Structure 1
Amino acid sequence: MALTLYIDTARWRAHQQSVVQQFPGIVPVCKGNGYGFGHERLADEAARFGSDILAVGTTYEAARIKDFFSGDLLVLTPFRLGEEPVPLPDRAIRSVSSVEGVRGLVGARVVIEVMSTMKRHGISEEDLPKLHAAIEDVRLEGFAIHLPLDRTDGSDAVQEVAGWMDRLNAARLPLHTMFVSHLKADELARLRQQYPQTRFRARIGTRLWLGDHDATQYRGAVLDVTRVTKGDRFGYRQQKAPGDGHLVVVAGGTSHGVGLEAPKTMNGMMPRAKGAARAGLATMNRNLSPFVWAGKQRWFAEPPHMQVSILFVPGDAPAPQVGDELVAHLRHTTTQFDRMLDH
């Protein structure tokens, strides 16, 4: 009995191909938990559609994935002086976001990140004159820019990239390759037309692996079903059953990522009102689970345990049977499955 990730393999790969065709020279990203699929699986998929490079989050991820992918490995986290050395093959490419970092990577293959409106990390315009001497001692693979997802000020992503292209050209720095993130296919086409001498390579993870939501599905197996009447005590904290119904024990707990939720940015009155309503229900020990049964998302009977969750299914709904599987709406990037099945 397990929390299972089911993959409609043909549909999933068809979506991958559609993205690959929209973004020639794509750099598939495999970081964190491998977008819910695992590093080994995504490395296999990238090799399957012929990618010559795979982007990973950290040097530790690169060390783990090097035995599963034979192409280049682009480490996205910038190099920092004094960081713990991790043995990596020559096909590893380090991102770097400072002049000092470039100088600390003598002989290495590097991609230099420029500062975007993300304001996360990157070389500033003032640093560009200092790069001439620094890049002589490294193997420069190109420059990179990581763009924000939303542009609430109405600004244009292409113009932001173009601004940096013009600055780099004015500084007489080599611009044979530019790695970009969070651009649409038509925006990338505009840049290619405007700068035909530069090869633009899109680093894509979420859109590539998770763009077709119906290609994958999590399901938790029902382990036990116990009938209760209103007021019956149950669980670790011996709470009272809110009514007649059934306690359903289903595979999937905190060790799988069930119950974990990242903070959200809320814009507008409706999302804020919903957030306030959820917070109010939580103070009454009413927390909606990700598990669906009989067409409805069911409430946690109590907070999820390490490997299972206990749900309350009211008496007006049919009781599931042991061995049934409940669909679970889970976030791929925070979920750890017990098994993965292609079908």
Structure 2
Amino acid sequence: MALSLYVDTARWRAHQKTVLDQFPGLIPVCKGNGYGFGHERLAEEAARLGTDVLAVGTTYEAARIKDWFSGDLLVLTPFRRGEEPVPLPDRVIRSVSSVDGVHALVGARVVIECMSSMKRHGIGEHELHLLHNSIDDVRLEGFALHLPLDRTDGTDAVEEVIAWMDRLRAARLPLHTMFVSHLRAEEQARLQQQFPQTRFRARIGTRLWLGDHEATEYRGAVLDVTKVAKGERFGYRQQRTASEGWLVVVAGGTSHGVGLEAPKAMHGVMPRAKGVARAGLATVNRNLSPFVWSGKQRWFAEPPHMQVSILFVPSDAQEPRVGDEMVAHLRHTTTQYDRLVER
């Protein structure tokens, strides 16, 4: 009995092919928990797509994945002087976001990150002239721009990239390759048309692996079902049940990522109101679980345990049975499954 990730493999791969066709020169991203699939599996899928570069998050990920992918590995986390050295093959490309970092990587293959409107990290416009004394000492693979997902101020992503292309050209820096993130296919096509001598390479993770929501589904197996009456005590804290129903033990707990939720940016009155309502319910130990039964998300009876969750299913719903599976709405990037089932 397990928390399982079901994958419609043909549909999943068809979506990957569609994204690859939309973004010539695409670089798949495999970082964190491998977007819920794991590093080894995504390395295999990247090889199937025929891509020559795979992007990873850290040098530690590169060290783990190097035996599963034979092409180049692009480390997205920028190099910092004094970081712990990790033995890596020559086919690993380091991202650099400072002039000092370029100076420290003599002989290495590097991608230089420029400071975008994300304002996370990158070399600023005023520093470009300082690169002339250092890029001859590295093997420059190109420049990169990590762009924001949302543009609430109405600015144009293409115009931001063009502005940086103009700055790099004015600084007499090579423009043979530009690595970009979070552009739409039509935006990349516009850039490629305007700069035919530059190769634009999109680094894509979520859209590639998780873009078709119908291709994957998490399900937790029902392990135990106990009938309870209103007011009965249960669980670690011996709380009372609010009404008659069933306590359902389902596979999937904190070690799987169940009950863990990243903060979300909320836009608009209604999403904020719902967030306030959820917070209010949580103060009285009412927390909605990700598990669905009889068409509704069910409440946690108590906080999830390490490997299982205990849910309360009211008596007006269908009685769950041991061996049933409940669909679980889980975030791939924070979930660790027990088994993967291909369909």
For Structure 1 versus Structure 2, the TM-score category normalised by the shorter chain is over 0.9
Amino acid across the alignment from 1:126: H
Amino acid across the alignment from 1:243: S
Alignment RMSD? 0.4
Q: Give the structure 2 partner of residue 174 of structure 1.
A: 174
Q: How does 1:120-199 map to 2 (within 5 A)?
A: 120-199=120-199
Q: Give the structure 2 partner of residue 97 of structure 1.
A: 97
Q: Give the structure 2 partner of residue 208 of structure 1.
A: 208
Q: Give the structure 1 partner of residue 63 of structure 2.
A: 63
Q: Give the structure 1 partner of residue 7 of structure 2.
A: 7
Question: Hey, what's the Cα distance between the residues in 2 that align with 1:293 and 1:83?
Answer: 48
Question: Hey, what's the Cα distance between the residues in 2 that align with 1:6 and 1:194?
Answer: 43
Q: Give the structure 1 partner of residue 25 of structure 2.
A: 25
Deviations 1:245-282, CA, capped at 9 Å, x for gaps:
00000000000000001111111111110001101111
Structure 1 residue 230: Cα displacement: 0.3
Deviations 1:113-134, CA, capped at 9 Å, x for gaps:
0000000000001111110110
Question: Hey, what's the Cα distance between the residues in 1 that align with 2:174 and 2:207?
Answer: 30
TM-score (norm 1): 1.00
Deviations 1:304-339, CA, capped at 9 Å, x for gaps:
000000000001111111011000000000000001
Structure 1 residue 14: Cα displacement: 0.3
Structure 1 residue 342: Cα displacement: 0.7
Amino acid across the alignment from 1:139: R
Question: Hey, what's the Cα distance between the residues in 2 that align with 1:149 and 1:294?
Answer: 35
Q: Give the structure 1 partner of residue 296 of structure 2.
A: 296
SS at match of 1:81: coil
Structure 1 residue 341: Cα displacement: 1.1
TM-score (norm 2): 1.00
SS at match of 1:12: helix
SS at match of 2:134: helix
Q: Give the structure 2 partner of residue 252 of structure 1.
A: 252
Q: Structure 2: which 5+ residue stretches go unaligned?
A: none
Amino acid across the alignment from 1:307: Q
Q: Give the structure 1 partner of residue 229 of structure 2.
A: 229
Structure 1 residue 283: Cα displacement: 1.1
SS at match of 1:151: coil
Structure 1 residue 56: Cα displacement: 0.1
Counting matched residue pairs gives 343
Q: Give the structure 2 partner of residue 334 of structure 1.
A: 334
Question: Hey, what's the Cα distance between the residues in 2 that align with 1:272 and 1:130?
Answer: 46
Deviations 1:166-221, CA, capped at 9 Å, x for gaps:
00000000110000000000000000011110000000000000000000000000
Question: Hey, what's the Cα distance between the residues in 2 that align with 1:294 and 1:130?
Answer: 63
Question: Hey, what's the Cα distance between the residues in 2 that align with 1:213 and 1:269?
Answer: 26
Amino acid across the alignment from 1:226: T
Structure 1 residue 137: Cα displacement: 0.4
Q: Which runs of 4+ in 1 moved over 4 A?
A: none
Amino acid across the alignment from 1:44: E
Question: Hey, what's the Cα distance between the residues in 2 that align with 1:317 and 1:198?
Answer: 60
Amino acid across the alignment from 1:228: V
Q: How does 1:107-126 map to 2 (within 5 A)?
A: 107-126=107-126
Question: Hey, what's the Cα distance between the residues in 1 that align with 2:81 and 2:56?
Answer: 20
Deviations 1:84-128, CA, capped at 9 Å, x for gaps:
000000000000000000000000000000000000000001111
Question: Hey, what's the Cα distance between the residues in 2 that align with 1:127 and 1:113?
Answer: 12
Q: How does 1:272-291 map to 2 (within 5 A)?
A: 272-291=272-291
Percentage of pairs with the same residue: 81
Deviations 1:44-71, CA, capped at 9 Å, x for gaps:
0000010101000000000000000000
Structure 1 residue 5: Cα displacement: 0.4
Q: Structure 1: which 5+ residue stretches go unaligned?
A: none
Question: Hey, what's the Cα distance between the residues in 2 that align with 1:340 and 1:89?
Answer: 31
Q: Give the structure 1 partner of residue 81 of structure 2.
A: 81
Question: Hey, what's the Cα distance between the residues in 2 that align with 1:283 and 1:11?
Answer: 42
Amino acid across the alignment from 1:340: L
Question: Hey, what's the Cα distance between the residues in 2 that align with 1:141 and 1:336?
Answer: 34
Q: Give the structure 2 partner of residue 35 of structure 1.
A: 35
